[in-house]
Structure 1
Amino acid sequence: MTRKLKKGGYTAILSVIVIAAVVIFNMIIGRLPEKVRQWDMSSTQIYTLGQTTKDLLKGLDKDITIYVVGDPAVVDKRITSFVKRYEDLSSHIKVETVDSVLHPDQLNQLKAQDDALFVKCEATNKTESIPFTSIIKMDESSYYYTGQSQESQFDGEGQLTSAISHVTSDVEKKVYVTEGHGEAVLGATVSDMLKKSNLTVTSLNLLTKGSIPKDCELLLLNAPVSDLADDEKKMISEFLDKGGNVLLLAGYSEKERPNLNQLMNAYGLNLENGLAADTKNFYQNNPYYIFPTIPSGSEVTNGLDTKSASLVLQSAAMTQLKALPEGVEVTPFMKTSEKGMLVTADKQTPGTYILGAVAEKTLDSGTARFTVLSTPSLIDEGLNTSFTNLNNLNLFMNAVTANFDDVANVSIPAKSLAVTYNTVTRGGLWGILFIFVIPVITLAVGLVIFMKRRRL
């Protein structure tokens, strides 16, 4: 064997070893969890699963199959990568791909929709279909400005976690929303979140209906401008006396609402005739734009992200009665700071004011629950769309689901695919530092260096 041939043999053997090592390495990488193989570098962490989803998957005791239905060459890679993270977190979840082009018979057999995630639970025989268009949402209005539709939101976690909860649970609750008093309409985001938690929402006019339906498990009053009629007040009072649940977003109104306030008084709360302000925790130099204090120890505030803030605008102010009615216990979950203020037409009264509270009354047959939020801006569509990093919607959904023992808040808001802006509670000294002091120092140092070099 010549030296040249021997050298060539070593090279060939080394090449085989390197190729084998690469193949084995790729096989090992391919078996790693999706979160290890692909890091979430997106600005709004669209691939990262929150604690709500992790808790739901941890408690799963039924097997679920998630089918990715569509042409694999066309399905958005963000969706396929995202779904695999659910499989990584639970042994009860299996992900399969259904090629709707090559295997249309399999699509018909499943009775699944094309270009969608199809979630199926064999134990309950329940299914849920999630169109890809419900996951990656488009801003159609942008077409009129740019000539093309732009991606606006990624709702993968919200849709898929809700679907898993739905197919594994038989629980479905009825929520009735009052109308006839100038109430605000629930926004699309809030309506979607209620649906995600398996809550069916129906409108109700108490005067024309004449009673609260027997299947009502939560009565929701969203910012009534005018007062309740005497008959309506009686209906709601009797509903509560039977152990009912009522959630009121009171809001500020220039009209007097004595019947509404009497309902609140019966549960230890009083709606003051004025606006709440806060001279300590406010947004953009407007004391009526309040970053509320969120006390711990309430089931409404459990699981909230402590790094995020809530923001309420032009809120009414509440106080607690000094002497609570018999059997009533009040638990505030949202307040102004100690620098709060009640502002009326003729005076300003400093103090700490309640912005959200739960009042429970012990009855012979159970417990009545009256939850009051002093402002509907907590769920304002425009506010929560502009500031996607607020705790507002989670706080509201906690207040809703806390009325039920067998319903969890699995309503996860969609994540923005646009640029997210940070919310700064007080600009003050930081604004002066970054806008004035640092630039001036930088210019001064640069000028000194320039002059020194010029002399040289």
Structure 2
Amino acid sequence: MTRKLKKGGYSAILSLIVIAAVIVLNMIVGRLPEKVRQWDMSSSQIYTLGTTTKDLVKGLDKDVTIYVVGDPSNVDKRITSFAKRYEDLSKHIKVETLDSVLHPDQVNKLKATDDSLFISCEATNKTESVPFTSIIKMDESAYYNYGQSKESEFDGEGQLTSAISHVTNDVEKKVYVTEGHKEAQFGTVVTDMLKKSNLTVTPINLLTGGSIPEDCELLLLNAPESDLAADEKKMVSDYLNGGGNVMILAGYSEKDRPNLNGLLNEYGLNMENGLAADTKNFYQNNPYYIFPTIPAGNELTQGTDDKSVSLVLQSGAMTQLKDLPQGVEVAPFMETSENGMLVTADKQTKGTYLLGAVAKKTLDSGAARLTVLTTPSLIDEGLNTSFTNLNNMNLFMNAVTANYPDVANVSIPAKSLDVGYNTVTKGGLWGVLFVFVIPVVTLLTGLVIWLKRRRL
């Protein structure tokens, strides 16, 4: 055997070993969890799953299949990669790709739609379809104003976690919302959050209806401008005394609402006649724009920490009665600082005022629950879309779902896809450093190096 032949044989064997090693490595990498194969380098951490999702998925006892339906060559890889993160969390979740071009019959058999995530649970025989357009949302204003196609939000976790909760849960719940007192309407954000927690909003007029439905587990009054009628107050009071749950976003009103306030008094709370202000924790020199104190240890503060911030505007003020009615306990979950103020037309009274509280009454059988918020601005559409880092919606949804023993708050807001830029918010020394010092030092250093090299 010649030397050339031997050398060629060694090269061929070495090449085969390298090729085999690459194949084996690809097979190993292919079996690694998605979070290992693809790190979340996005600015808003769109692939990172939160505690709510992890708790829900790890607690699954039913098998769920997530079908990525569409033409694989056109499906956004972010969606496929994101769905596989769920598969990594639980053995009960399986992700499959369903090619709608090659296998349209399978798509029709499942009753799925093209370009969507189709979530199915065989144990409950329930399905949910999430269009890709509901996951990667476009900025409609950019299109209509400038003719540009711009991605605005990624709502993968909110939509998929909600869908999994829906298909694995046999429970359907309603929130009965009163009408007839010039109540505020829920915005898109609130409606979407309620839907994600599998809650449907059903309007009810107590006067024309004549009663509160037997299947009502939560009656909600959203910023009523006018007072309850005497008949309505009795209806709500009787409902509570029968073990019902009521939630009121009272808000400040220039009109007296004796029946509404009388209902609160039955549960140890009182709406003061004035606006709440805070001279310690406020936004942009406006004491009526309050950053409320959130006491720790309350069931409504789950998912909040020291870094979580809520903001309320033009809020009413509430106090707790000195002598609570028999069997009533009051637990505040939102209040002003010790520098809070009750502002009326003729005076300002300093003190700590309640902005949100839960009053529970122990009954012979069961308990009644009254949740009161002194401002509807907590769920204001403009406020929560302008300040996407606020904890307002999480607090509200915790307050809502706490009324249902078998409903969890799985309402996860969408994550922004806007590009974040590092900006220097104030000038002064920082402005001098970045605008003058660093550029001048860089130029001088380069000049010195160039001169040294030129002399060599």
Q: Shorter-chain TM-score: what band? A: over 0.9
**Partner residue of 2:428 out of 406, 423, 436:** 436
Task: Note the residue ranges of structure 2 that are not aligned, 5 or more in a row.
Answer: 449-456
Whole-angstrom CA distance in 2 between matches of 1:308 and 1:139: 27
Tell me how far 1:5 sits from its aligned partner.
Answer: 3.7
CA distance in 1, matches of 2:23, 2:424: 57
Q: Which amino acid letter does the alignment assign opposite residue 295 of structure 1? A: P
Aligned residue in 2 for 1:129: 129
Corresponding residue of 1:95: 95
Output the TM-score relative to the length of structure 1: 0.92
Q: Distance in 2 between matches of 1:224 and 1:289?
A: 21
Task: Using the TM superposition, give the Cα deviation of residue 18 of structure 1 relative to its aligned residue in structure 2, in angstroms.
Answer: 2.1
After superposition, the C-alpha distances for 1:285-344 in whole angstroms (9 at most, x for unaligned) are 222111111111111112324422111111111111111111100000111112211122
Cα gap change, 1:232 to 1:109, in 2 (>3 Å) = same
What pairs up with 1:238-387 in 2 under 5 angstroms?
238-387=238-387
Q: Which residue of 1 aligns with 2:452?
A: none
Q: Deviations over 1:111-130 (max 9, x none)?
A: 11221111111111111111
Aligned-residue offset at 1:161: 0.9
Q: What is the count of residue pairs matched by the alignment?
A: 445
Query: 2:135·2:154 contact (CA, 8 Å) conserved in 1?
Result: yes
Q: What SS class does the counterpart of residue 407 from structure 1 fall into?
A: coil
**Contact 1:155/1:415 (8 A) holds in 2:** yes
In 1, Cα distance between the equivalents of 2:122 and 2:438?
Answer: 70
Amino acid at match of 1:279: T
Letter paired with 1:40: D
- In structure 2, distance between residues paired with 1:446 and 1:207: 71
* Contact 1:305 1:391 survives alignment (8 Å): no
Q: How far apart, CA to CA, are the structure 2 residues paired with 1:274 and 1:280? A: 19
Amino acid at match of 1:338: E
Asked if structure 1 preserves the Cα contact closer than 8 Å seen for 2:424 and 2:431, the reply is no
Matched, 1:396 2:388: no
Indicate the RMSD between aligned Cα atoms, in angstroms: 2.4
Between the aligned partners of 2:212 and 2:413, the Cα distance in structure 1 is 30
Provide the rounded CA distance (Å) in 2 between the counterparts of 1:385 and 1:363: 41
1:239 and 1:259 map into 2 onto residues whose CA distance is 15
Q: Distance in 1 between matches of 2:138 and 2:425?
A: 39
Measured after TM superposition, the shift of residue 138 of structure 1 is 2.0
Larger mean Cα displacement after TM superposition, 329-338 or 149-158: 149-158
Unpaired runs of 5+ in structure 1?
423-430
**Equivalent in the alignment of 2:146:** 146
Q: State the distance in 2 between where 1:161 and 1:181 align.
A: 35
Aligned partners of 1:305, 1:196: CA distance in 2, in Å? 23
Residue number in structure 1 paired with 2:14: 14
Supply the distance in 1 between the matched residues of 2:311 and 2:235 (Cα, whole angstroms): 33
User: How many percent of aligned residue pairs carry the same amino acid?
Assistant: 78
**1:57 to 2:57 alignment:** yes
Structure 1 residues 151-196: Cα deviation after superposition (integer angstroms, max 9, x where no partner) = 2221111111111111111112221111121211001111111112
Structure 1 position 420, deviation (Å): 6.2
1:12 deviates by 2.8
Query: Which letter maps to 1:385?
Result: T
The residue aligned with 2:453 is none
Paired with 1:190 and 1:213, the residues of 2 have a C-alpha distance of 23
Shift of residue 449, structure 1, vs aligned partner: 7.8
Residues 142, 444 of structure 1: alpha-carbon distance in 2 compared, 3 angstrom cutoff = closer
